[in-house]
A = this chain, B = another copy of it.
Protein backbone atom coordinates (compact mmCIF):
# COMPACT_ATOMS: atom_id res chain seq x y z
CA UNK A 1 0.00 0.00 0.00
CA UNK A 2 1.27 3.51 -0.78
CA UNK A 3 2.10 5.78 2.14
CA UNK A 4 -0.49 8.23 0.91
CA UNK A 5 -3.40 5.75 1.06
CA UNK A 6 -2.13 4.14 4.24
CA UNK A 7 -2.09 7.49 6.05
CA UNK A 8 -5.43 8.54 4.57
CA UNK A 9 -7.39 5.47 5.65
CA UNK A 10 -5.74 5.33 9.07
CA UNK A 11 -6.63 8.95 9.77
CA UNK A 12 -10.14 8.45 8.42
CA UNK A 13 -10.77 5.43 10.65
CA UNK A 14 -9.45 7.24 13.72
CA UNK A 15 -11.58 10.28 12.95
CA UNK A 16 -14.65 8.07 12.51
CA UNK A 17 -14.48 6.99 16.15
CA UNK A 18 -14.44 10.62 17.27
CA UNK A 19 -17.15 11.72 14.86
CA UNK A 20 -19.44 8.92 16.04
CA UNK A 21 -19.45 10.45 19.53
CA UNK A 22 -20.62 13.97 18.56
CA UNK A 23 -24.05 15.05 19.72
CA UNK A 24 -26.78 16.03 17.27
CA UNK A 25 -26.50 19.65 18.43
CA UNK A 26 -22.75 19.74 17.81
CA UNK A 27 -23.22 18.33 14.33
CA UNK A 28 -26.01 20.74 13.42
CA UNK A 29 -24.02 23.70 14.63
CA UNK A 30 -21.08 22.60 12.46
CA UNK A 31 -23.34 22.08 9.42
CA UNK A 32 -24.68 25.61 9.76
CA UNK A 33 -21.13 26.90 10.10
CA UNK A 34 -20.23 25.09 6.88
CA UNK A 35 -23.21 26.65 5.09
CA UNK A 36 -22.21 30.11 6.27
CA UNK A 37 -18.59 29.61 5.22
CA UNK A 38 -19.60 28.52 1.71
CA UNK A 39 -21.74 31.66 1.35
CA UNK A 40 -18.93 33.89 2.56
CA UNK A 41 -16.30 32.19 0.39
CA UNK A 42 -18.25 32.11 -2.85
CA UNK A 43 -15.71 34.33 -4.60
CA UNK A 44 -12.81 32.04 -3.75
CA UNK A 45 -14.77 28.90 -4.70
CA UNK A 46 -15.86 30.32 -8.05
CA UNK A 47 -12.34 31.51 -8.84
CA UNK A 48 -10.89 28.07 -8.22
CA UNK A 49 -13.72 26.54 -10.26
CA UNK A 50 -12.81 28.86 -13.16
CA UNK A 51 -9.31 27.35 -13.22
CA UNK A 52 -10.84 23.88 -13.54
CA UNK A 53 -13.16 25.14 -16.27
CA UNK A 54 -10.34 26.70 -18.27
CA UNK A 55 -8.31 23.49 -18.09
CA UNK A 56 -11.36 21.40 -19.00
CA UNK A 57 -12.07 23.54 -22.05
CA UNK A 58 -8.46 23.29 -23.10
CA UNK A 59 -8.67 19.50 -22.73
CA UNK A 60 -11.80 19.46 -24.89
CA UNK A 61 -14.22 18.15 -22.24
CA UNK A 62 -17.76 17.63 -23.56
CA UNK A 63 -20.13 20.56 -23.17
CA UNK A 64 -22.54 18.64 -20.93
CA UNK A 65 -19.63 17.75 -18.61
CA UNK A 66 -18.45 21.34 -18.50
CA UNK A 67 -21.96 22.43 -17.59
CA UNK A 68 -21.99 20.04 -14.65
CA UNK A 69 -18.57 21.21 -13.55
CA UNK A 70 -19.38 24.93 -13.60
CA UNK A 71 -20.17 26.74 -10.35
CA UNK A 72 -22.16 29.96 -10.54
CA UNK A 73 -23.21 32.27 -7.70
CA UNK A 74 -26.61 30.59 -7.79
CA UNK A 75 -25.10 27.11 -7.58
CA UNK A 76 -22.85 28.07 -4.68
CA UNK A 77 -25.88 29.49 -2.88
CA UNK A 78 -27.69 26.18 -3.47
CA UNK A 79 -24.72 24.30 -1.97
CA UNK A 80 -24.91 26.44 1.18
CA UNK A 81 -28.67 26.03 1.33
CA UNK A 82 -28.53 22.25 1.15
CA UNK A 83 -25.97 22.09 3.99
CA UNK A 84 -28.38 24.16 6.06
CA UNK A 85 -31.24 21.84 5.21
CA UNK A 86 -29.29 18.77 6.32
CA UNK A 87 -28.84 20.47 9.69
CA UNK A 88 -32.61 20.59 10.09
CA UNK A 89 -33.19 16.90 9.31
CA UNK A 90 -33.70 14.42 12.16
CA UNK A 91 -30.57 12.55 13.30
CA UNK A 92 -31.06 8.80 12.80
CA UNK A 93 -28.21 7.83 15.17
CA UNK A 94 -28.78 6.39 18.60
CA UNK A 95 -32.34 5.33 17.83
CA UNK A 96 -33.37 2.00 19.33
CA UNK A 97 -34.67 -0.14 16.46
CA UNK A 98 -35.81 -3.02 18.66
CA UNK A 99 -35.46 -4.13 22.27
CA UNK A 100 -36.35 -7.36 24.05
CA UNK A 101 -35.55 -9.53 27.04
CA UNK A 102 -34.54 -13.21 27.08
CA UNK A 103 -35.82 -15.74 29.62
CA UNK A 104 -32.34 -15.82 31.24
CA UNK A 105 -32.55 -12.10 31.95
CA UNK A 106 -30.34 -10.82 29.11
CA UNK A 107 -31.68 -7.53 27.74
CA UNK A 108 -31.03 -6.94 24.02
CA UNK A 109 -31.17 -3.67 22.13
CA UNK A 110 -30.53 -2.99 18.45
CA UNK A 111 -29.24 0.57 18.15
CA UNK A 112 -28.55 2.71 15.08
CA UNK A 113 -24.87 3.69 14.64
CA UNK A 114 -22.75 5.15 11.82
CA UNK A 115 -21.20 2.92 9.17
CA UNK A 116 -17.75 4.42 9.79
CA UNK A 117 -15.77 5.45 6.72
CA UNK A 118 -17.55 5.88 3.37
CA UNK A 119 -15.73 6.32 0.06
CA UNK A 120 -17.60 8.30 -2.61
CA UNK A 121 -16.33 8.02 -6.17
CA UNK A 122 -17.89 10.47 -8.58
CA UNK A 123 -17.39 12.54 -11.68
CA UNK A 124 -16.43 16.18 -12.07
CA UNK A 125 -19.39 17.64 -10.17
CA UNK A 126 -18.29 19.84 -7.26
CA UNK A 127 -21.77 20.01 -5.73
CA UNK A 128 -21.53 16.26 -5.03
CA UNK A 129 -18.55 17.03 -2.79
CA UNK A 130 -20.48 19.32 -0.46
CA UNK A 131 -23.70 17.25 -0.60
CA UNK A 132 -21.83 14.15 0.48
CA UNK A 133 -19.85 15.97 3.16
CA UNK A 134 -23.16 17.18 4.62
CA UNK A 135 -25.02 13.86 4.55
CA UNK A 136 -22.06 11.81 5.78
CA UNK A 137 -21.23 14.25 8.57
CA UNK A 138 -24.83 14.28 9.78
CA UNK A 139 -24.87 10.48 9.92
CA UNK A 140 -21.55 10.31 11.81
CA UNK A 141 -19.59 8.92 8.86
CA UNK A 142 -16.19 10.10 7.72
CA UNK A 143 -16.27 10.64 3.97
CA UNK A 144 -13.37 10.03 1.63
CA UNK A 145 -14.30 11.99 -1.49
CA UNK A 146 -12.75 11.17 -4.78
CA UNK A 147 -14.26 13.35 -7.49
CA UNK A 148 -13.34 13.50 -11.17
CA UNK A 149 -9.91 14.99 -11.78
CA UNK A 150 -11.35 17.79 -13.88
CA UNK A 151 -12.91 19.19 -10.70
CA UNK A 152 -9.87 18.81 -8.48
CA UNK A 153 -9.32 22.50 -7.78
CA UNK A 154 -13.01 23.13 -7.14
CA UNK A 155 -13.17 20.19 -4.77
CA UNK A 156 -10.04 21.26 -2.93
CA UNK A 157 -11.43 24.77 -2.57
CA UNK A 158 -14.74 23.48 -1.20
CA UNK A 159 -12.88 21.08 1.04
CA UNK A 160 -10.74 23.88 2.44
CA UNK A 161 -13.73 26.12 3.13
CA UNK A 162 -15.69 23.30 4.78
CA UNK A 163 -12.76 22.08 6.91
CA UNK A 164 -12.01 25.56 8.17
CA UNK A 165 -15.66 25.96 9.12
CA UNK A 166 -15.58 22.66 10.99
CA UNK A 167 -12.46 23.67 12.89
CA UNK A 168 -13.89 27.07 13.75
CA UNK A 169 -17.07 25.47 15.10
CA UNK A 170 -14.96 23.42 17.52
CA UNK A 171 -14.58 20.07 15.76
CA UNK A 172 -10.98 19.14 16.64
CA UNK A 173 -10.45 16.41 14.01
CA UNK A 174 -10.83 16.11 10.21
CA UNK A 175 -14.37 14.86 9.55
CA UNK A 176 -13.87 14.25 5.82
CA UNK A 177 -11.04 13.90 3.33
CA UNK A 178 -10.88 15.18 -0.23
CA UNK A 179 -8.58 12.84 -2.17
CA UNK A 180 -5.90 15.16 -3.50
CA UNK A 181 -4.01 12.62 -5.57
CA UNK A 182 -6.34 11.79 -8.42
CA UNK A 183 -4.27 9.00 -9.99
CA UNK A 184 -6.17 5.78 -10.71
CA UNK A 185 -3.66 3.70 -8.76
CA UNK A 186 -4.71 5.43 -5.55
CA UNK A 187 -8.37 4.80 -6.28
CA UNK A 188 -7.60 1.15 -6.94
CA UNK A 189 -5.79 0.94 -3.61
CA UNK A 190 -8.64 2.62 -1.77
CA UNK A 191 -11.07 0.08 -3.20
CA UNK A 192 -9.08 -2.70 -1.55
CA UNK A 193 -9.16 -1.19 1.96
CA UNK A 194 -11.68 -3.65 3.35
CA UNK A 195 -11.65 -3.22 7.09
CA UNK A 196 -10.68 0.46 6.95
CA UNK A 197 -13.38 1.61 4.53
CA UNK A 198 -16.87 0.36 5.28
CA UNK A 199 -18.80 1.29 2.14
CA UNK A 200 -18.21 2.60 -1.37
CA UNK A 201 -20.86 4.59 -3.21
CA UNK A 202 -19.98 5.23 -6.84
CA UNK A 203 -21.97 8.02 -8.47
CA UNK A 204 -21.80 8.46 -12.20
CA UNK A 205 -22.23 6.60 -15.45
CA UNK A 206 -22.51 2.85 -15.80
CA UNK A 207 -18.90 2.32 -16.84
CA UNK A 208 -17.55 4.13 -13.77
CA UNK A 209 -19.79 1.98 -11.57
CA UNK A 210 -18.81 -1.27 -13.29
CA UNK A 211 -15.13 -0.46 -12.82
CA UNK A 212 -15.68 0.20 -9.12
CA UNK A 213 -17.59 -3.07 -8.60
CA UNK A 214 -14.97 -5.01 -10.52
CA UNK A 215 -12.10 -3.67 -8.42
CA UNK A 216 -13.63 -3.26 -5.01
CA UNK A 217 -13.21 -5.57 -2.04
CA UNK A 218 -15.21 -3.07 0.03
CA UNK A 219 -19.03 -3.46 -0.20
CA UNK A 220 -20.55 -1.22 -2.88
CA UNK A 221 -24.08 0.21 -3.07
CA UNK A 222 -25.11 1.36 -6.49
CA UNK A 223 -27.40 1.27 -9.46
CA UNK A 224 -26.03 0.65 -12.92
CA UNK A 225 -28.95 2.11 -14.77
CA UNK A 226 -32.64 2.87 -14.68
CA UNK A 227 -34.64 1.04 -17.33
CA UNK A 228 -38.02 2.08 -15.94
CA UNK A 229 -41.34 0.85 -17.35
CA UNK A 230 -44.91 2.03 -17.51
CA UNK A 231 -47.55 -0.65 -18.07
CA UNK A 232 -50.81 0.74 -19.44
CA UNK A 233 -53.38 -1.82 -18.35
CA UNK A 234 -56.67 -2.45 -20.16
CA UNK A 235 -58.60 -0.44 -17.60
CA UNK A 236 -56.22 2.55 -17.42
CA UNK A 237 -57.67 6.06 -17.39
CA UNK A 238 -56.44 7.09 -20.82
CA UNK A 239 -56.12 10.80 -20.20
CA UNK A 240 -54.24 10.18 -16.97
CA UNK A 241 -52.05 7.58 -18.65
CA UNK A 242 -51.11 10.02 -21.43
CA UNK A 243 -50.11 12.68 -18.96
CA UNK A 244 -48.02 10.19 -16.97
CA UNK A 245 -46.30 8.89 -20.14
CA UNK A 246 -45.35 12.42 -21.14
CA UNK A 247 -44.16 13.32 -17.66
CA UNK A 248 -42.13 10.14 -17.22
CA UNK A 249 -40.45 10.42 -20.63
CA UNK A 250 -40.12 14.13 -21.32
CA UNK A 251 -39.86 16.07 -18.07
CA UNK A 252 -36.18 15.13 -17.63
CA UNK A 253 -35.12 12.37 -20.01
CA UNK A 254 -31.48 12.24 -18.85
CA UNK A 255 -32.15 10.85 -15.38
CA UNK A 256 -32.44 7.30 -14.10
CA UNK A 257 -36.12 7.46 -13.15
CA UNK A 258 -37.31 8.56 -16.60
CA UNK A 259 -39.28 5.87 -18.45
CA UNK A 260 -37.59 3.92 -21.26
CA UNK A 261 -40.21 1.31 -22.21
CA UNK A 262 -44.00 1.57 -22.26
CA UNK A 263 -45.98 -1.69 -22.29
CA UNK A 264 -49.58 -1.43 -23.50
CA UNK A 265 -52.37 -3.95 -22.91
CA UNK A 266 -53.62 -5.29 -26.25
CA UNK A 267 -57.25 -4.39 -25.50
CA UNK A 268 -56.44 -0.71 -25.09
CA UNK A 269 -53.57 -0.44 -27.60
CA UNK A 270 -55.63 0.56 -30.66
CA UNK A 271 -57.14 3.48 -28.86
CA UNK A 272 -54.15 4.43 -26.76
CA UNK A 273 -51.20 4.24 -29.15
CA UNK A 274 -52.39 6.83 -31.71
CA UNK A 275 -53.20 9.26 -28.93
CA UNK A 276 -49.78 8.67 -27.37
CA UNK A 277 -48.15 9.34 -30.74
CA UNK A 278 -50.06 12.61 -30.93
CA UNK A 279 -48.61 13.64 -27.57
CA UNK A 280 -45.06 12.50 -28.28
CA UNK A 281 -44.62 13.78 -31.88
CA UNK A 282 -44.64 17.51 -31.13
CA UNK A 283 -42.26 16.84 -28.22
CA UNK A 284 -39.74 15.20 -30.60
CA UNK A 285 -39.96 11.84 -28.82
CA UNK A 286 -38.80 9.06 -31.12
CA UNK A 287 -40.90 5.89 -30.77
CA UNK A 288 -39.62 2.35 -31.40
CA UNK A 289 -42.14 -0.47 -31.41
CA UNK A 290 -42.58 -4.23 -31.47
CA UNK A 291 -44.38 -5.68 -34.56
CA UNK A 292 -47.85 -5.02 -33.10
CA UNK A 293 -47.02 -1.37 -32.40
CA UNK A 294 -45.53 -0.97 -35.88
CA UNK A 295 -48.77 -2.36 -37.40
CA UNK A 296 -50.93 0.06 -35.42
CA UNK A 297 -48.62 3.03 -35.95
CA UNK A 298 -47.26 2.62 -39.47
CA UNK A 299 -43.88 4.20 -39.98
CA UNK A 300 -42.71 3.48 -36.44
CA UNK A 301 -39.12 2.29 -36.23
CA UNK A 302 -38.81 -1.37 -35.25
CA UNK A 303 -37.54 -2.06 -31.73
CA UNK A 304 -34.81 -4.71 -31.49
CA UNK A 305 -34.04 -7.03 -28.61
CA UNK A 306 -31.37 -4.52 -27.62
CA UNK A 307 -33.95 -1.74 -27.24
CA UNK A 308 -35.65 -3.53 -24.34
CA UNK A 309 -32.35 -3.44 -22.45
CA UNK A 310 -31.38 0.12 -23.29
CA UNK A 311 -31.44 3.13 -21.03
CA UNK A 312 -31.78 5.85 -23.69
CA UNK A 313 -31.39 8.84 -21.35
CA UNK A 314 -32.84 10.68 -24.32
CA UNK A 315 -36.13 11.49 -26.08
CA UNK A 316 -36.55 7.92 -27.29
CA UNK A 317 -39.05 5.36 -26.02
CA UNK A 318 -39.63 1.70 -26.83
CA UNK A 319 -43.19 0.36 -26.97
CA UNK A 320 -44.61 -3.12 -26.81
CA UNK A 321 -48.10 -4.57 -26.82
CA UNK A 322 -48.68 -7.26 -24.19
CA UNK A 323 -51.50 -9.76 -23.65
CA UNK A 324 -52.07 -9.10 -19.97
CA UNK A 325 -50.54 -8.07 -16.65
CA UNK A 326 -48.71 -11.39 -16.47
CA UNK A 327 -46.85 -10.75 -19.70
CA UNK A 328 -46.07 -7.20 -18.59
CA UNK A 329 -44.59 -8.49 -15.32
CA UNK A 330 -42.51 -11.11 -17.14
CA UNK A 331 -41.14 -8.47 -19.56
CA UNK A 332 -40.21 -6.07 -16.77
CA UNK A 333 -38.54 -8.69 -14.57
CA UNK A 334 -36.60 -9.98 -17.58
CA UNK A 335 -35.47 -6.77 -19.28
CA UNK A 336 -35.71 -4.12 -16.58
CA UNK A 337 -33.05 -2.88 -14.22
CA UNK A 338 -35.13 -3.42 -11.06
CA UNK A 339 -35.28 0.31 -10.40
CA UNK A 340 -38.82 1.73 -10.76
CA UNK A 341 -41.83 0.41 -12.66
CA UNK A 342 -45.40 1.64 -12.67
CA UNK A 343 -48.78 0.11 -13.57
CA UNK A 344 -51.55 2.45 -14.72
CA UNK A 345 -54.85 0.74 -14.05
CA UNK A 346 -58.27 0.95 -12.45
CA UNK A 347 -58.23 -2.78 -11.71
CA UNK A 348 -57.29 -3.28 -8.03
CA UNK A 349 -56.39 -6.92 -8.38
CA UNK A 350 -54.03 -6.25 -11.30
CA UNK A 351 -52.40 -3.44 -9.32
CA UNK A 352 -51.95 -5.77 -6.37
CA UNK A 353 -50.47 -8.49 -8.52
CA UNK A 354 -48.11 -6.04 -10.24
CA UNK A 355 -46.62 -4.61 -7.06
CA UNK A 356 -46.35 -8.08 -5.54
CA UNK A 357 -44.59 -9.75 -8.45
CA UNK A 358 -42.41 -6.99 -9.90
CA UNK A 359 -38.87 -7.49 -8.61
CA UNK A 360 -37.95 -3.81 -8.43
CA UNK A 361 -36.89 -1.38 -5.73
CA UNK A 362 -39.94 0.82 -6.41
CA UNK A 363 -43.27 -0.56 -7.61
CA UNK A 364 -45.71 2.22 -8.47
CA UNK A 365 -49.45 2.34 -9.15
CA UNK A 366 -50.95 5.22 -11.15
CA UNK A 367 -48.02 7.57 -10.78
CA UNK A 368 -45.07 8.78 -12.82
CA UNK A 369 -41.75 6.94 -12.35
CA UNK A 370 -40.18 10.39 -11.90
CA UNK A 371 -41.24 10.29 -8.23
CA UNK A 372 -38.55 7.72 -7.52
CA UNK A 373 -36.32 10.07 -5.58
CA UNK A 374 -35.32 10.63 -1.96
CA UNK A 375 -36.82 14.10 -1.75
CA UNK A 376 -40.05 13.08 -3.50
CA UNK A 377 -40.30 10.11 -1.12
CA UNK A 378 -40.00 12.50 1.81
CA UNK A 379 -36.64 11.17 3.02
CA UNK A 380 -35.40 14.76 3.23
CA UNK A 381 -32.17 13.90 1.42
CA UNK A 382 -30.72 11.54 -1.12
CA UNK A 383 -27.24 10.08 -1.30
CA UNK A 384 -28.20 7.90 -4.27
CA UNK A 385 -30.57 5.20 -5.49
CA UNK A 386 -29.84 1.54 -5.04
CA UNK A 387 -30.96 -1.32 -7.27
CA UNK A 388 -29.07 -3.66 -4.98
CA UNK A 389 -31.05 -5.75 -2.56
CA UNK A 390 -28.61 -5.66 0.32
CA UNK A 391 -28.68 -2.98 3.00
CA UNK A 392 -30.58 -0.32 1.05
CA UNK A 393 -32.94 -0.57 -1.91
CA UNK A 394 -34.40 2.36 -3.82
CA UNK A 395 -33.81 6.00 -2.88
CA UNK A 396 -31.35 6.28 0.03
CA UNK A 397 -31.60 9.00 2.65
CA UNK A 398 -29.86 9.45 6.00
CA UNK A 399 -31.02 6.21 7.61
CA UNK A 400 -29.49 4.22 4.77
CA UNK A 401 -26.07 5.65 5.72
CA UNK A 402 -26.25 3.95 9.10
CA UNK A 403 -25.96 0.43 10.46
CA UNK A 404 -26.84 -1.00 13.86
CA UNK A 405 -25.18 -2.81 16.67
CA UNK A 406 -26.50 -5.08 19.39
CA UNK A 407 -26.14 -3.95 22.99
CA UNK A 408 -26.67 -6.82 25.39
CA UNK A 409 -26.83 -6.31 29.13
CA UNK A 410 -26.58 -9.16 31.59
CA UNK A 411 -26.08 -9.73 35.28
CA UNK A 412 -23.27 -12.26 35.06
CA UNK A 413 -24.90 -14.80 32.72
CA UNK A 414 -22.81 -17.67 31.37
CA UNK A 415 -23.87 -20.13 28.71
CA UNK A 416 -24.93 -23.58 29.85
Taking Cβ atoms with an 8 Å cutoff, the residues of A that contact B are 17, 20-21, 100, 102, 106, 108, 115-116, 194, 198-199, 213-214, 217, 219-221, 237, 240, 243-244, 246-248, 251, 333, 351, 355-357, 359-368, 370-371, 376-378, 388-391, 393-395, 403-415
Give the residues in chain B near A106, CB-CB below 8 Å.
Answer: 367, 371, 376
Give the residues in chain B near A220, CB-CB below 8 Å.
Answer: 219
CA distance A214 to B413 in the complex (A): 39
CA distance A351 to B107 in the complex (A): 14
Cβ contact within 8 Å between B406 and A362? yes
Known contacts A388-B219, A389-B198, A371 near B244 by CB under 8 Å = no
Give the residues in chain B near A395, CB-CB below 8 Å.
Answer: 406
CA distance A389 to B13 in the complex (A): 14
CA distance A22 to B219 in the complex (A): 31
CA distance A255 to B363 in the complex (A): 43
Known contacts A116-B359, A361-B405, A213 near B217 by CB under 8 Å = yes
Closest B residue to A395 by beta carbon equals B406
Cβ contact within 8 Å between A371 and B415? yes
Sample of 7 A–B contacts (CB below 8 Å): A17-B359, A20-B359, A214-B217, A240-B412, A243-B412, A363-B407, A368-B415
CA distance A214 to B218 in the complex (A): 10
Cβ contact within 8 Å between A237 and B412? yes
Known contacts A360-B405, A366-B409, A108 near B17 by CB under 8 Å = no
Cβ contact within 8 Å between B243 and A414? yes
CA distance A355 to B109 in the complex (A): 11
CB distance from A116 to the nearest CB of B (A): 7
Closest B residue to A388 by beta carbon equals B219
Give the residues in chain B near A217, CB-CB below 8 Å.
Answer: 213-214
Q: Which residue from B213, B367, B388 sits with its C-beta under 8 Å from A410?
A: B367
CB distance from A23 to the nearest CB of B (A): 12
Cβ contact within 8 Å between A362 and B408? yes
Give the residues in chain B near A248, CB-CB below 8 Å.
Answer: 414
Give the 4 A-B residue pairs with the shortest CB-CB distance, closest first: A367-B410, A247-B414, A240-B412, A370-B415
Cβ contact within 8 Å between A376 and B102? yes
CA distance A248 to B412 in the complex (A): 12
CA distance A355 to B363 in the complex (A): 39
Known contacts A214-B217, A371-B408, A391 near B390 by CB under 8 Å = yes
Given pairs A365-B410, A366-B409, A366-B411, 20 additional interface contacts (CB within 8 A): A17-B359, A20-B357, A102-B376, A116-B389, A198-B390, A219-B390, A244-B412, A355-B407, A361-B406, A362-B405, A362-B406, A365-B407, A366-B410, A367-B409, A368-B415, A371-B408, A371-B410, A376-B415, A377-B408, A395-B406
CB distance from A318 to the nearest CB of B (A): 20
Cβ contact within 8 Å between A377 and B108? yes
Q: Which residue from B221, B370, B394, B406 sits with its C-beta under 8 Å from A377?
A: B406
CA distance A178 to B413 in the complex (A): 40
